[in-house]
Structure 1
């Protein structure tokens, strides 16, 4: 009887050793499930998650690269609680995929302090790029100034949050730091301590101030009047200040913006013309705030985005120009100076919603329209959307059916 059982035991032991040696559990990205994801997110400063499907070709192409990058990240940041690269099999973990609103494979989500950031990872998909991204994410998001004079040299084209604290161990500073980690891609964060900033705030009462991008907007400094000890309250306020109503579109963030699915109202500007940007932002804030759920208000460097201008029959010499990209067609705002007429930009949007812009491009002005007949240099057929081409690529993602 014992002779019969021994081979089975030896076989099980040998198989177990073989399995551990050739399938190490600590290599590659961590497999996340509904059982361990919450603990993983709560116990690490940064978690980068690859949401994939086994049947997806693009997921399979990414998997070995992502696993190799995970090993490199572990080597670079071995301390517990710092960073984890994880992966979720969305077919097996449908509740997790649903929780993170996955609409394409593979999707790479960035989690900071247990909360998903606004932006997915959309950079290059290589081991080196993933490692560089993690290193950048873990960099200190706050710059300490040693003199109030240092604040005079802040970049006037960047939005800044400045904190004045007694000590680095204050509870309020810990919240300030957590907010800075979450929003460092949207704002620059600066801080001063002790005697350096004693003249800027009462003893024991830290102060946090928003400094706008004064070179590109008409906004003014604003002090946070809420409870700095409340992370949620401070985070909401900083996000409102750092993520403006009118955003700049670049080739780096275009995919993210197009995926939001809202039409673009874009000011194409000359890089040397800051005043047009300021006025455009001010008019959007004053007249079109109620439309922020329906439209993405954007500015675009007319030199970098010369291709859309060409489709509109315009060039750099015609800047500044305002246009709508509906993701089907592009429509040109008649004259930039008409932007200053109260309600004129709002009417332009209403004409998009009603179909009037499309109709008039095909058939000319409506019979009851008071608009002037378009000049000969305006095309009678609306040019096709050019920004749609910057949406998530069919050569990079498998789009789910409910997104099509």
Structure 2
């Protein structure tokens, strides 16, 4: 299962940059292989498994990754897994051939086939991921190797099943789905469990959990999702994706200093333990990720608490005008779980006048305008800071004028100042995002063509139920390519 996380901060300085280095000292040879047009194909063919970074020397994220990548290369060299890099400012053809569009791009080549790596960019995360990739989905282990195997990673799942058990196929199927995340093994007998079952070993909380007796693919998956995350941990770039993958509501406690962190810790962790398997609780450092509170419709005032449904995006901030107490936190959590608490919807005021060619949509009039089934609707989701959105604005205004007064609505939505309704069947990942809904339909169609007046009008003509005869002047310049800018967030 794919995991994805933001760039982690690193603070390790290269030895060659330290003051006072003696002239006679020679820097340590790098364990990272340099690849280019002359040796890339042969190196990939010669190695069953290899990690490759495509980078640019000027890239800040690449510079931050470099020392961690070196450490990972040295550790992985010991287990026979090579680590390499390609300078895309020099080896432009190699990078183009592999579809590199940003830096760093990290790929895992297994039997010559590339897959994108989106996991942690710290040495231990890189090493853990590649070791998992080097193993079969489920490793056969013996009793004398159990202790070593069960501590080989942060979370290790071991099936206790005889060789003829049909449950081995179930374990294998789940293991293949989660092979990027966890190490799986199978053993015929295990002193930690009587008879058949599953043991989840972990380097936190109670150390291990048992799923005894019969199990299904669904119950095993649920068991792993529930117990593979700590009762309450501090969230950051390296573990954010695992919480997203769990599918459980995520409760954030924002703190800005150690006193705030520990003030409620015992009581909070008791609530987290009580709701284990229903909701995940985390600490979050507001000095690093304070803007994430704004995403939850909280003010940047600490400490603070909020809950998010990771599937729907629904937000439930704890009222900052009331006391931040464990009782109020528990009441909010229970309300989210039983559905008695309504989500918070951030919205700009509904415009008093909305008679311009491009209709202004905010959260509180979204359904009235965008989901009016009598009309075709083209809507742009934008951010005020987005350069591509600014370039599109005059073109979009022209398109609005073409359909003014018709049953084809051209609309725009500032997605930084408004939340989508919680039942909207998509989330915005970049700007601008343009979608179209046909009259009479609740389905949305993505527009991913060139952002020219001619191309957008052609798209509307081909898809709209209502027909408007539009004449577009011949285009004199190249059409704007459909690039997007990622949503600005706080590295989580």
Whether these two folds match at TM > 0.5 is no
**Structure 1 or 2: more helix by fraction:** 1
Please indicate the TM-score interval, normalised by the length of the shorter structure: 0.3 to 0.5
Report which structure shows greater RCO (CA 8 Å, sep ≥6): 1
Q: How high is the TM-score relative to the length of structure 1?
A: 0.43
Q: How high is the TM-score relative to the length of structure 2?
A: 0.37
